[in-house]
Structure 1
Amino acid sequence: MLHYAIVFFVIALIAAFFGFSGIAAGAVSIGKILFFVFLVLAVVSLLLGRRPVP
Structure 2
Amino acid sequence: AQHDVVLHLYGKSDPRPGRKMAHVTCLGSTLTQALGRARTVADILGLDVGDGLA
Both proteins in one fold, TM over 0.5: no
Higher relative contact order, chain-length normalized (CA < 8 Å, sep 6+): 1
Return the TM-score normalized by structure 1. Answer: 0.38
Larger radius of gyration: 1
Q: Which structure: greater helix fraction?
A: 1
Q: Which structure: greater strand fraction?
A: 2
